[in-house]
Amino acid sequence: MRIHHLYEDADGISHFRDIEVEWVEEKPFRKLSARLPTTGIIFRQTSGDYDLDWHPAPRRQYIINLDAGVDITASDGERRIIGAGEVILVEDVSGKGHLSKAVGGKMRHSIFVPIE
């Protein structure tokens, strides 16, 4: 399972990389990762005309898109569309940050899972 990871380097420039979930338990029909520490859950609804200028993430968090995607551009110029059902770990909490906007004019429901 792939997780998109948006992080910042020592110069405050954000970059993407992929993280593969590490499985610690395998049984017939399922695999489980280790339990990860979190501090809550936030439900979010974002309008279909969402288009946010450069900003850092408000906190380190996983974002799980439920029914629509988001178009994110890292400050190094790489652009990814994180689709419905995909997960991104955002950790660019200072520096220039990233751009984010709605995809296809669709309202998006997502879950934020803070990790601090």
Which residues make Cβ contacts (< 8 Å) with residue 68, sequence separation at least 6?
Answer: 84, 102, 103, 104, 106, 107, 108, 109
- Domains in the chain, start-ordered, CATH in brackets? 2-114 (2.60.120.10)
- CA dist 90 and 14 (Å) reads 10
> Can you say whether the dihedral through the CA atoms of 104, 108, 78, 2 is positive or negative?
negative
pLDDT of 48:
96
Instruction: Check residue 76 and give its pLDDT.
Output: 97
Q: What is the pLDDT of residues 64-94, one digit of tens each?
A: 999 999 999 999 999 999 999 999 999 999 9
The per-residue pLDDT for range 1-37, each reduced to its tens digit, is: 999 999 999 999 999 999 999 999 999 999 999 999 9
Task: Report how far apart the first and last C-alpha atoms of the chain are (Å, whole number).
Answer: 23
pLDDT digits (tens, 9 = 90+) for 38-47: 999 999 999 9
